[in-house]
Amino acid sequence: MTASKLDPITRLIHHPYEPPAGFEAPQPGIFKASTVIFSSVAAMRSRDWKNKAGYTYGLHGTPTTFLLEERLCALEGGAHCLLAPSGLAAIATVSLGLLKAGDEVLLPDNAYGPNKALAEGELAGWGITHRLFDPMHPQDLADKISARTRLVWLEAPGSVTMEFPDLCAQVRMCRERGVTTALDNTWGAGLAFNPFDLDAGLGVDISVQALTKYPSGGGDVLMGSVITRDEALHLKLKLSHMRLGTGVGANDAETVLRSLPSIALRYRAQDQAARELARWCESQPQFVQVLHPALPRSPGHAHWQRLCGAQASDPAAGLAAGLFSVILDPAYSSGQVDAFCDALELFKLGYSWGGPISLVVPYEVASMRPHWPAHLARGTLVRFSIGLEAVADLRQDLERAWQTALRE
Protein backbone atom coordinates (compact mmCIF):
# COMPACT_ATOMS: atom_id res chain seq x y z
CA MET A 1 0.00 0.00 0.00
CA THR A 2 1.23 3.48 -0.81
CA ALA A 3 1.80 5.43 2.34
CA SER A 4 0.24 8.64 0.96
CA LYS A 5 -3.12 6.86 0.44
CA LEU A 6 -3.40 5.86 4.07
CA ASP A 7 -5.50 7.69 6.61
CA PRO A 8 -3.30 10.00 8.73
CA ILE A 9 -4.23 7.97 11.80
CA THR A 10 -2.82 4.84 10.18
CA ARG A 11 0.23 6.73 8.98
CA LEU A 12 1.01 7.74 12.55
CA ILE A 13 1.36 4.05 13.32
CA HIS A 14 2.87 2.79 10.06
CA HIS A 15 5.12 5.73 9.20
CA PRO A 16 7.76 5.07 6.53
CA TYR A 17 10.46 7.33 7.98
CA GLU A 18 13.48 5.64 9.53
CA PRO A 19 16.15 7.72 11.23
CA PRO A 20 19.64 7.35 9.72
CA ALA A 21 21.83 4.58 11.12
CA GLY A 22 25.14 5.34 12.81
CA PHE A 23 23.96 7.42 15.75
CA GLU A 24 26.54 7.25 18.53
CA ALA A 25 26.35 8.77 21.98
CA PRO A 26 27.90 8.07 25.41
CA GLN A 27 24.87 6.11 26.56
CA PRO A 28 23.28 3.30 24.54
CA GLY A 29 19.87 3.62 22.90
CA ILE A 30 17.01 2.08 24.82
CA PHE A 31 14.69 -0.42 23.15
CA LYS A 32 11.26 -1.14 24.56
CA ALA A 33 9.09 -4.05 23.52
CA SER A 34 6.64 -6.67 24.49
CA THR A 35 6.02 -7.52 20.80
CA VAL A 36 8.98 -8.12 18.52
CA ILE A 37 8.20 -8.03 14.78
CA PHE A 38 9.31 -10.82 12.41
CA SER A 39 9.98 -10.41 8.69
CA SER A 40 8.07 -13.57 7.68
CA VAL A 41 6.15 -16.53 9.04
CA ALA A 42 9.18 -18.68 8.25
CA ALA A 43 11.40 -16.38 10.35
CA MET A 44 8.86 -16.54 13.15
CA ARG A 45 8.67 -20.35 13.04
CA SER A 46 12.40 -20.94 12.86
CA ARG A 47 13.24 -18.47 15.60
CA ASP A 48 14.78 -20.08 18.71
CA TRP A 49 13.96 -17.88 21.72
CA LYS A 50 17.12 -19.06 23.54
CA ASN A 51 19.47 -17.91 20.78
CA LYS A 52 20.73 -14.41 21.54
CA ALA A 53 21.61 -13.74 17.90
CA GLY A 54 18.02 -12.49 17.45
CA TYR A 55 14.80 -11.48 19.15
CA THR A 56 11.54 -13.31 19.85
CA TYR A 57 9.53 -11.51 22.50
CA GLY A 58 10.20 -8.71 24.96
CA LEU A 59 10.37 -11.12 27.88
CA HIS A 60 13.14 -13.09 26.15
CA GLY A 61 15.35 -10.06 25.59
CA THR A 62 15.83 -6.79 23.77
CA PRO A 63 19.04 -5.02 22.67
CA THR A 64 18.84 -3.13 25.99
CA THR A 65 18.66 -6.19 28.24
CA PHE A 66 21.30 -8.06 26.17
CA LEU A 67 23.64 -5.10 26.58
CA LEU A 68 23.13 -4.94 30.33
CA GLU A 69 23.66 -8.71 30.60
CA GLU A 70 26.99 -8.50 28.75
CA ARG A 71 28.23 -5.60 30.88
CA LEU A 72 27.32 -7.41 34.08
CA CYS A 73 29.17 -10.52 32.85
CA ALA A 74 32.22 -8.29 32.31
CA LEU A 75 31.88 -6.94 35.86
CA GLU A 76 31.68 -10.35 37.52
CA GLY A 77 33.87 -12.37 35.15
CA GLY A 78 30.98 -14.60 34.04
CA ALA A 79 29.81 -15.70 30.61
CA HIS A 80 25.99 -15.78 30.77
CA CYS A 81 23.50 -13.57 32.58
CA LEU A 82 19.78 -13.56 33.37
CA LEU A 83 18.00 -10.46 34.64
CA ALA A 84 15.21 -10.65 37.21
CA PRO A 85 12.90 -7.93 38.58
CA SER A 86 14.58 -7.90 42.02
CA GLY A 87 17.52 -9.45 43.81
CA LEU A 88 15.12 -11.77 45.58
CA ALA A 89 13.57 -12.80 42.24
CA ALA A 90 17.09 -13.67 41.03
CA ILE A 91 17.58 -15.83 44.13
CA ALA A 92 14.19 -17.49 43.53
CA THR A 93 15.09 -18.15 39.88
CA VAL A 94 18.10 -20.18 41.03
CA SER A 95 16.31 -22.14 43.76
CA LEU A 96 13.19 -22.82 41.66
CA GLY A 97 15.26 -23.67 38.60
CA LEU A 98 17.53 -26.20 40.28
CA LEU A 99 15.47 -27.79 43.06
CA LYS A 100 12.73 -30.41 42.78
CA ALA A 101 10.61 -32.30 45.36
CA GLY A 102 12.86 -34.49 47.50
CA ASP A 103 15.92 -32.24 47.07
CA GLU A 104 17.64 -30.32 49.85
CA VAL A 105 19.22 -26.86 49.78
CA LEU A 106 21.74 -25.62 52.34
CA LEU A 107 21.98 -22.00 53.47
CA PRO A 108 24.39 -20.23 55.81
CA ASP A 109 22.71 -19.29 59.09
CA ASN A 110 23.56 -15.61 58.41
CA ALA A 111 22.06 -15.67 54.88
CA TYR A 112 19.98 -12.79 53.53
CA GLY A 113 16.71 -13.18 55.51
CA PRO A 114 14.29 -13.38 52.55
CA ASN A 115 16.38 -16.21 51.04
CA LYS A 116 15.75 -18.19 54.24
CA ALA A 117 12.07 -17.18 54.14
CA LEU A 118 11.83 -18.48 50.55
CA ALA A 119 13.14 -21.86 51.71
CA GLU A 120 10.91 -21.97 54.79
CA GLY A 121 7.75 -20.61 53.21
CA GLU A 122 7.75 -21.67 49.56
CA LEU A 123 10.27 -24.45 48.90
CA ALA A 124 9.07 -26.44 51.93
CA GLY A 125 5.55 -26.53 50.48
CA TRP A 126 6.89 -28.19 47.33
CA GLY A 127 8.72 -30.91 49.22
CA ILE A 128 12.13 -29.22 49.05
CA THR A 129 13.84 -29.26 52.43
CA HIS A 130 16.54 -26.91 53.67
CA ARG A 131 19.15 -26.88 56.44
CA LEU A 132 21.23 -24.07 57.84
CA PHE A 133 24.99 -24.44 58.24
CA ASP A 134 27.51 -22.48 60.27
CA PRO A 135 29.36 -20.31 57.74
CA MET A 136 32.35 -19.89 60.06
CA HIS A 137 33.06 -23.66 60.25
CA PRO A 138 33.45 -25.14 56.75
CA GLN A 139 33.40 -28.63 58.25
CA ASP A 140 29.81 -28.03 59.36
CA LEU A 141 28.88 -27.40 55.73
CA ALA A 142 30.73 -30.54 54.62
CA ASP A 143 28.96 -32.60 57.29
CA LYS A 144 25.53 -31.37 56.19
CA ILE A 145 25.95 -32.20 52.50
CA SER A 146 23.96 -35.36 51.81
CA ALA A 147 22.89 -37.37 48.76
CA ARG A 148 19.83 -35.10 48.57
CA THR A 149 21.78 -31.80 48.59
CA ARG A 150 21.40 -30.18 45.18
CA LEU A 151 22.33 -26.58 45.94
CA VAL A 152 24.40 -24.67 48.48
CA TRP A 153 23.89 -20.93 48.95
CA LEU A 154 26.90 -18.88 50.02
CA GLU A 155 27.26 -15.28 51.10
CA ALA A 156 30.37 -13.25 51.94
CA PRO A 157 30.06 -11.59 54.34
CA GLY A 158 26.78 -12.65 55.93
CA SER A 159 23.86 -10.24 55.87
CA VAL A 160 23.62 -7.85 58.84
CA THR A 161 26.14 -9.66 61.09
CA MET A 162 28.94 -9.28 58.52
CA GLU A 163 31.00 -12.41 59.34
CA PHE A 164 33.35 -13.20 56.47
CA PRO A 165 33.54 -16.96 55.80
CA ASP A 166 36.36 -19.00 54.26
CA LEU A 167 34.59 -18.88 50.91
CA CYS A 168 37.34 -20.79 49.09
CA ALA A 169 37.10 -23.72 51.54
CA GLN A 170 33.30 -23.73 51.26
CA VAL A 171 33.40 -23.79 47.46
CA ARG A 172 36.07 -26.51 47.46
CA MET A 173 34.00 -28.75 49.75
CA CYS A 174 30.95 -28.40 47.54
CA ARG A 175 32.93 -29.00 44.35
CA GLU A 176 34.56 -32.15 45.80
CA ARG A 177 31.05 -33.46 46.53
CA GLY A 178 29.61 -32.45 43.16
CA VAL A 179 27.13 -29.94 44.64
CA THR A 180 26.22 -26.73 42.79
CA THR A 181 27.19 -23.49 44.57
CA ALA A 182 25.30 -20.21 44.28
CA LEU A 183 26.88 -17.11 45.80
CA ASP A 184 24.81 -14.09 46.78
CA ASN A 185 27.45 -11.60 45.58
CA THR A 186 25.53 -8.40 46.34
CA TRP A 187 28.13 -7.23 48.88
CA GLY A 188 31.14 -7.92 46.61
CA ALA A 189 29.31 -6.50 43.57
CA GLY A 190 31.94 -8.04 41.27
CA LEU A 191 34.45 -5.49 42.62
CA ALA A 192 35.75 -6.78 45.96
CA PHE A 193 36.67 -10.19 44.47
CA ASN A 194 36.00 -12.27 41.37
CA PRO A 195 33.52 -15.04 42.26
CA PHE A 196 34.49 -17.20 39.27
CA ASP A 197 38.27 -16.95 39.78
CA LEU A 198 39.53 -20.52 39.95
CA ASP A 199 43.14 -19.31 40.33
CA ALA A 200 42.19 -17.56 43.58
CA GLY A 201 40.71 -20.87 44.78
CA LEU A 202 37.14 -19.77 44.21
CA GLY A 203 35.04 -20.68 41.18
CA VAL A 204 31.40 -20.63 42.28
CA ASP A 205 28.89 -22.06 39.79
CA ILE A 206 26.40 -19.20 40.04
CA SER A 207 26.74 -15.60 41.20
CA VAL A 208 23.59 -13.68 42.06
CA GLN A 209 23.50 -9.95 42.68
CA ALA A 210 20.83 -7.55 43.85
CA LEU A 211 21.47 -4.90 41.18
CA THR A 212 19.19 -2.84 43.43
CA LYS A 213 22.28 -2.03 45.51
CA TYR A 214 25.58 -0.87 43.94
CA PRO A 215 24.91 -1.40 40.20
CA SER A 216 21.85 0.87 40.50
CA GLY A 217 23.41 3.11 43.11
CA GLY A 218 20.32 5.32 43.30
CA GLY A 219 17.95 3.60 45.70
CA ASP A 220 15.36 3.87 42.91
CA VAL A 221 15.47 0.55 41.03
CA LEU A 222 14.81 -3.09 41.91
CA MET A 223 16.64 -5.67 39.79
CA GLY A 224 18.70 -8.84 40.11
CA SER A 225 21.14 -10.85 38.02
CA VAL A 226 22.05 -14.54 37.79
CA ILE A 227 25.48 -15.06 36.25
CA THR A 228 27.19 -18.33 35.31
CA ARG A 229 30.18 -19.49 33.30
CA ASP A 230 28.75 -22.88 32.39
CA GLU A 231 26.41 -22.76 29.40
CA ALA A 232 24.38 -25.86 30.27
CA LEU A 233 23.71 -24.52 33.77
CA HIS A 234 22.73 -21.15 32.29
CA LEU A 235 20.28 -22.78 29.86
CA LYS A 236 18.66 -24.79 32.65
CA LEU A 237 18.11 -21.60 34.65
CA LYS A 238 17.06 -19.69 31.54
CA LEU A 239 14.29 -22.21 30.87
CA SER A 240 12.88 -21.77 34.39
CA HIS A 241 13.27 -18.01 34.11
CA MET A 242 11.28 -18.05 30.85
CA ARG A 243 8.53 -20.26 32.29
CA LEU A 244 8.24 -18.07 35.39
CA GLY A 245 8.03 -14.93 33.25
CA THR A 246 10.22 -12.80 35.48
CA GLY A 247 11.70 -10.29 33.03
CA VAL A 248 12.73 -6.68 33.66
CA GLY A 249 11.42 -3.37 32.33
CA ALA A 250 13.43 -1.34 29.81
CA ASN A 251 13.35 1.84 31.94
CA ASP A 252 14.88 -0.01 34.86
CA ALA A 253 17.52 -1.61 32.63
CA GLU A 254 18.33 1.87 31.32
CA THR A 255 18.78 3.20 34.86
CA VAL A 256 21.25 0.46 35.70
CA LEU A 257 23.13 0.98 32.40
CA ARG A 258 23.35 4.68 33.29
CA SER A 259 24.85 3.91 36.71
CA LEU A 260 27.26 1.10 35.86
CA PRO A 261 30.13 3.27 34.53
CA SER A 262 30.55 4.89 37.96
CA ILE A 263 30.12 1.76 40.10
CA ALA A 264 33.82 1.34 40.93
CA LEU A 265 34.16 4.99 42.02
CA ARG A 266 31.03 4.86 44.16
CA TYR A 267 32.00 1.52 45.71
CA ARG A 268 35.49 2.74 46.61
CA ALA A 269 34.18 6.03 48.05
CA GLN A 270 31.51 4.32 50.15
CA ASP A 271 34.06 1.71 51.27
CA GLN A 272 36.55 4.32 52.48
CA ALA A 273 33.84 6.35 54.26
CA ALA A 274 32.40 3.24 55.94
CA ARG A 275 35.82 2.12 57.16
CA GLU A 276 36.55 5.53 58.61
CA LEU A 277 33.23 5.58 60.47
CA ALA A 278 33.56 1.93 61.59
CA ARG A 279 37.02 2.70 63.05
CA TRP A 280 35.61 5.72 64.83
CA CYS A 281 32.78 3.57 66.25
CA GLU A 282 35.42 1.19 67.63
CA SER A 283 36.69 4.08 69.74
CA GLN A 284 33.24 4.70 71.26
CA PRO A 285 32.52 2.74 74.46
CA GLN A 286 28.77 2.33 73.81
CA PHE A 287 29.55 0.10 70.82
CA VAL A 288 30.80 -3.16 72.32
CA GLN A 289 31.48 -4.68 68.91
CA VAL A 290 31.92 -3.23 65.42
CA LEU A 291 31.27 -5.68 62.58
CA HIS A 292 33.11 -4.77 59.38
CA PRO A 293 35.31 -7.35 57.64
CA ALA A 294 38.18 -4.87 57.16
CA LEU A 295 38.54 -4.38 60.92
CA PRO A 296 41.07 -6.84 62.38
CA ARG A 297 38.79 -7.77 65.29
CA SER A 298 35.74 -8.47 63.10
CA PRO A 299 34.81 -12.17 62.64
CA GLY A 300 36.46 -13.64 59.55
CA HIS A 301 38.75 -10.62 58.95
CA ALA A 302 41.61 -12.89 57.78
CA HIS A 303 39.35 -14.49 55.13
CA TRP A 304 38.36 -11.05 53.85
CA GLN A 305 42.00 -10.01 53.78
CA ARG A 306 43.00 -13.02 51.70
CA LEU A 307 40.07 -12.88 49.25
CA CYS A 308 39.78 -9.12 48.77
CA GLY A 309 43.46 -8.27 48.28
CA ALA A 310 44.05 -6.45 51.56
CA GLN A 311 47.51 -5.95 53.02
CA ALA A 312 48.23 -5.56 56.71
CA SER A 313 50.81 -2.86 55.86
CA ASP A 314 48.24 -0.70 54.07
CA PRO A 315 44.96 -0.20 55.94
CA ALA A 316 43.35 1.37 52.86
CA ALA A 317 44.09 -1.63 50.59
CA GLY A 318 41.55 -4.25 49.59
CA LEU A 319 37.91 -3.56 48.88
CA ALA A 320 34.77 -3.82 50.99
CA ALA A 321 31.24 -2.53 50.59
CA GLY A 322 30.10 0.56 52.50
CA LEU A 323 28.26 -1.38 55.19
CA PHE A 324 28.92 -2.13 58.83
CA SER A 325 27.05 -3.04 61.99
CA VAL A 326 27.58 -2.16 65.63
CA ILE A 327 26.39 -3.95 68.75
CA LEU A 328 25.31 -1.66 71.56
CA ASP A 329 26.23 -2.34 75.14
CA PRO A 330 23.23 -4.22 76.66
CA ALA A 331 23.36 -1.70 79.51
CA TYR A 332 21.44 0.57 77.15
CA SER A 333 17.75 -0.22 76.76
CA SER A 334 16.24 -1.05 73.39
CA GLY A 335 14.26 2.19 73.86
CA GLN A 336 17.56 4.09 73.95
CA VAL A 337 18.79 2.28 70.85
CA ASP A 338 15.56 3.18 69.03
CA ALA A 339 15.91 6.78 70.25
CA PHE A 340 19.48 6.84 68.85
CA CYS A 341 18.25 5.66 65.43
CA ASP A 342 15.32 8.11 65.51
CA ALA A 343 17.60 11.00 66.46
CA LEU A 344 19.85 10.53 63.41
CA GLU A 345 19.17 13.22 60.82
CA LEU A 346 21.43 12.45 57.86
CA PHE A 347 21.12 8.68 58.30
CA LYS A 348 17.57 7.76 57.27
CA LEU A 349 15.62 4.75 58.52
CA GLY A 350 15.22 2.37 55.60
CA TYR A 351 16.10 -1.02 54.15
CA SER A 352 18.51 -1.71 51.31
CA TRP A 353 21.86 -0.03 50.61
CA GLY A 354 24.19 1.19 47.88
CA GLY A 355 22.43 4.51 47.24
CA PRO A 356 23.53 8.12 47.87
CA ILE A 357 21.76 8.44 51.25
CA SER A 358 23.16 6.82 54.39
CA LEU A 359 20.72 4.42 56.04
CA VAL A 360 20.29 2.84 59.45
CA VAL A 361 18.28 -0.19 60.66
CA PRO A 362 18.16 -1.69 64.18
CA TYR A 363 17.99 -5.52 64.24
CA GLU A 364 17.19 -8.11 66.91
CA VAL A 365 19.80 -10.81 66.29
CA ALA A 366 17.92 -13.30 68.51
CA SER A 367 15.00 -13.32 66.06
CA MET A 368 17.28 -13.88 63.05
CA ARG A 369 19.43 -16.80 64.22
CA PRO A 370 18.69 -20.20 65.76
CA HIS A 371 21.35 -19.54 68.46
CA TRP A 372 23.27 -16.44 69.52
CA PRO A 373 26.60 -16.91 67.71
CA ALA A 374 29.56 -17.18 70.09
CA HIS A 375 31.55 -14.62 68.06
CA LEU A 376 28.91 -11.89 68.54
CA ALA A 377 28.70 -9.74 71.66
CA ARG A 378 25.27 -9.57 73.33
CA GLY A 379 23.22 -6.45 72.69
CA THR A 380 21.08 -4.73 70.09
CA LEU A 381 22.59 -4.59 66.61
CA VAL A 382 22.39 -1.51 64.42
CA ARG A 383 23.39 -1.67 60.76
CA PHE A 384 24.65 1.34 58.86
CA SER A 385 24.81 1.68 55.10
CA ILE A 386 27.05 4.56 54.09
CA GLY A 387 25.96 6.83 51.27
CA LEU A 388 27.89 9.57 49.52
CA GLU A 389 27.67 12.36 52.11
CA ALA A 390 30.81 13.94 53.63
CA VAL A 391 32.20 11.59 56.30
CA ALA A 392 32.69 14.36 58.88
CA ASP A 393 28.98 15.24 58.68
CA LEU A 394 28.00 11.60 59.15
CA ARG A 395 30.28 11.23 62.16
CA GLN A 396 28.82 14.35 63.72
CA ASP A 397 25.30 13.00 63.11
CA LEU A 398 26.23 9.77 64.97
CA GLU A 399 27.78 11.69 67.85
CA ARG A 400 24.88 14.11 68.24
CA ALA A 401 22.22 11.37 67.98
CA TRP A 402 23.94 9.36 70.73
CA GLN A 403 23.93 12.37 73.06
CA THR A 404 20.19 12.76 72.34
CA ALA A 405 19.55 9.05 73.05
CA LEU A 406 21.34 9.27 76.42
CA ARG A 407 18.88 11.93 77.53
CA GLU A 408 15.90 9.60 76.86
Region binding ligand PLP by CB under 6 A among candidate stretches 36-44, 168-176, 210-218, 289-297: 210-218
* Candidate residues 81, 156, 167, 222; the one interacting with ligand PLP per rule CB under 6 A: 222
Given strand 359-363, what is the order of strands in its sheet? 287-291, 323-328, 380-385, 359-363, 348-349
Burial label for 147, CB within 10 Å (0-12, 13-18, 19+), is: exposed
161 counts as binding ligand PLP under rule CB under 6 A: no
How many other CB atoms sit within 10 Å of the CB of residue 222? 18
CB 149 within 8 A of CB 313: no
Residue with the CB atom nearest ligand PLP in the bound state: 87
Subset of residues 48 to 107 that bind ligand PLP, contact rule: CB under 6 A: 86-88
Total interface residues for ligand PLP by CB under 6 A: 13
| CB within 8 Å of 22: residues ≥ 6 apart | none
> Cα–Cα distance between 244 and 97 in angstroms, integer?
10
215 counts as binding ligand PLP under rule CB under 6 A: no
How many other CB atoms sit within 10 Å of the CB of residue 90? 30
Which of 112, 332 has the CB closer to ligand PLP? 112
Which of 64, 212 has the CB closer to ligand PLP? 212
Subset of residues 102 to 141 that bind ligand PLP, contact rule: CB under 6 A: 112
Which of 72, 343 has the CB closer to ligand PLP? 72
* Candidate residues 129, 240, 272, 352; the one interacting with ligand PLP per rule CB under 6 A: 352
* Candidate residues 61, 224, 379, 387; the one interacting with ligand PLP per rule CB under 6 A: 224
Subset of residues 180 to 209 that bind ligand PLP, contact rule: CB under 6 A: 184, 186
> Cα–Cα distance between 379 and 398 in angstroms, integer?
18
212 counts as binding ligand PLP under rule CB under 6 A: yes
- Helix (H) or strand (E) segment spanning residue 178: none
Measure CA of the first residue to CA of the last residue in the chain; give whole Å: 79
The residues binding ligand PLP (CB under 6 A) are 86-88, 112, 159, 184, 186, 210, 212-213, 222, 224, 352
